[in-house]
Structure 1
Amino acid sequence: MQVYSGTDVANHLKIKPTTLRKYCALLEEAGYTFSRNDQGHRYYSDKDVMALRSVLKAKRSGITLKEAVHGVVHQSEEITTIDDTQNEKERYGSDTMNELKTLIQQQGDMMAKQTEVIQSLSHQIEQQQEQINQLSQRLEAPDDHEQSEEKSIWQRLFKK
């Protein structure tokens, strides 16, 4: 991998070193990362030079600097994601990736079945709760037969 100094990059892009630092600071604020040496100075790869060139190109086409920076960061994230996926395929092979996809699908199916079982159990609990409520109401309600006997006792006592 080729590594460049800030001066080299500024000369190559035909901008001042202060402009380069400003653009790099904006890119870093937006989430882009530059490599740094032990003293904390940035050093640049070909990818970084391309990102900076994209910022300059977008700015020259009339896009604001902030929009250009965010576009480059977003584009860089997409490229990184694609590169990571490629690296995973190379590292694990397509057979392993297919096995992982199959496992993920199986887990999804299992979760769907578990959801069905939970819904069924929940419905059963609701039915049992209704039965409990009905029994509770029956136990709390006064018995008509007892009421009639009580009235007849009162009627006998007070002769009503």
Structure 2
Amino acid sequence: MDLSEQEMQYTAKDLAASLDVTTSTLRRWAIALESAHYPFQRNEKGQRIYTEQDIATFKELKKLLGEKMTFADVIQKLTGHNKSMEKKSETEKIMNVTAEELEKLVSRAVKKAVKKEREKLFKQMKKQMKKELEKLKEKN
């Protein structure tokens, strides 16, 4: 297969140089993109191999960062994957407790709060009774 049939592939060093960024910056960007489900090709050693499509993605990423977009917003825009939506779905799972489970949780919380308040009240009453006893002793 000659090069015209095969898409050109680039190393991290070459790509970083063409983007005028460090290889560590390129790696950080690639990891963020991958965590948002952007697929990179890899060689037999497991290293990322960058294609023309990837170069276009990184150029757009750099351009958007230059326009003062946040890094998270840029990644979302480029991948369509929203980390905050993942967090929201986790919250929804938590919110899907049954009425019975919720009732038990509330009941435990109320019992705990009542016990705490009762103990506080008893301490105050004990203190007040002690004061009253001291006043009675002084009178006698």
Give the TM-score range, shorter chain. Answer: 0.5 to 0.7
> Higher RCO, 1 or 2 (CA under 8 Å, sep at least 6)?
2
1:70 maps to which of 73, 76, 80: 76
1:60 is matched by which residue type in structure 2?
G
Under a length normalisation based on structure 1, what TM-score does the superposition of the two structures give? 0.46
Distance, in Å, in 2 between the alignment partners of 1:46 and 1:65 is 22
Q: Alignment length, in residue pairs?
A: 75
What percent of counterpart residues are identical? 27
Q: What is the match of residue 48 of structure 1?
A: 54
2:13 is matched by which residue type in structure 1?
T
> CA RMSD, aligned part only?
1.2
The structure with more helix, counted as a fraction of residues: 1
- Bigger Rg, which one: 1
Distance, in Å, in 1 between the alignment partners of 2:71 and 2:39 is 18
Q: 1:15 and 2:18 equivalent? A: no
Structure 2: give runs of 5+ residues left out of the alignment: 1-6, 82-140
Under a length normalisation based on structure 2, what TM-score does the superposition of the two structures give? 0.52
Ranges of 4+ aligned residues in structure 1 off by more than 2 Å: none
2:55 is matched by which residue type in structure 1?
V
- Post-superposition offset of 1:70: 1.0
Q: What is the match of residue 11 of structure 2?
A: 5
Distance, in Å, in 2 between the alignment partners of 1:50 and 1:74 is 16
